[in-house]
Structure 1
Amino acid sequence: MTGPTPRPHLPRGEEGETLIEVLVAVVLMGIAFVAVFGGIGTAIIGSVRQQKVTTADSVVRSAAEEVVGRPYASCAAGYATAPPPTGYTVTVTIEYWDGVGAFVRSCPTADTGVQKVTLTVRSTGPHAIGDLTLEVVKRESMPS
């Protein structure tokens, strides 16, 4: 009977890595890659949303400048604005000062010369943002 064969003695530093050590290293690198790529994806989505907010803000301010620049229209059906960029819609709502202390949606029998124009911009498509609203009070010019 012969006993177990002795393993040859390896020089120091040549023992190598075990399968468990390699698996642990691969799992740790996988976790790190998922974290990095998840962070990059979140940053991209946040950047797209911020770009939409900035564009919507620019659209609503441009529409407000157009409304302010147009002459006052007594009991106006609406104020036209330039078409917004693709993916955005602009809604214009007009309320009239009733002369007592409130704005109402319907034109009063005697127009008091004060309107509240509400401009609302909505984005569509992926990563859409909520409505962005700006109110402008428009007054009829008084003759001098």
Structure 2
Amino acid sequence: MTGPARLPRRRRGEEGETLIEVLVAVVLMGVAFVTIFGGMGTAIISSVTQQKVTGADSVIRSAAEKVVSAPYVSCASGYETPTPPAGYTVTVEIEYWDGLSAFGRSCPTADTGVQKVTLTVRSTGPHPVKDATLEVVKRESMLS
């Protein structure tokens, strides 16, 4: 009988990779994937936020155009605004010039013909953004 079989000796360049080398490669790939997916998540959230800000700006501007084009109403309790798209609400507050120095919430006995209309647009949903506010000053037309 012959002795135990010997495996052929490896030549230079045929060495396999060690376990440590494989672990280091896996860890590096894991870090790369976490970085890539984290960046993608941040980009998606930023995109949704910017879309809501742009939408709120569009809603508030169209509401302001509707208020400006509406006829002046003495001691008005509100002005009509367009129906906002889903995910937005519009509120209208009116203050009246007292004829001396300030706007107030109650209409003076003699309407001075100047109103400050404050429009506020609020976004709703999973990622709400800061409210958009726009003030419009309405004056009674003297061209009657």
Q: TM-score, normalised by structure 1?
A: 0.93
Q: Please name the residue that 2:19 is paired with.
A: 19
Give the corresponding residue for 1:48: 48
Distance 2:70 2:143 in 1: 17
> What corresponds to 1:3 in structure 2?
none
In 2, Cα distance between equivalents of 1:98 and 1:86: 37
Unaligned runs of 5+ in 2: 1-5
1:69 Cα shift? Answer: 0.2
What's the RMSD between the two structures over aligned residues? 1.4
Output aligned runs, 1:81-96, within 5 Å: 81-96=81-96
Identity of aligned residues (%): 78
Q: Deviations over 1:25-76 (max 9, x none)?
A: 0011000100010000000000000000000000000000000000000000
Shift of 1:143: 2.8
Structure-2 residue corresponding to 1:65: 65
Residue 36 (structure 1) aligns with: 36
Q: What residue identity is the alignment partner of 2:115?
A: Q
- Partner amino acid for 2:113? G
Structure 2 length-normalised TM: 0.93
Structure 2 residue aligned with 1:139:
139
Q: CA deviation at 1:7?
A: 7.2
Unpaired stretches in structure 1, ≥5 consecutive residues: 1-5
The Cα shift of 1:8 comes to 4.7
**Distance across 1 between alignment mates of 2:107 and 2:14:** 92
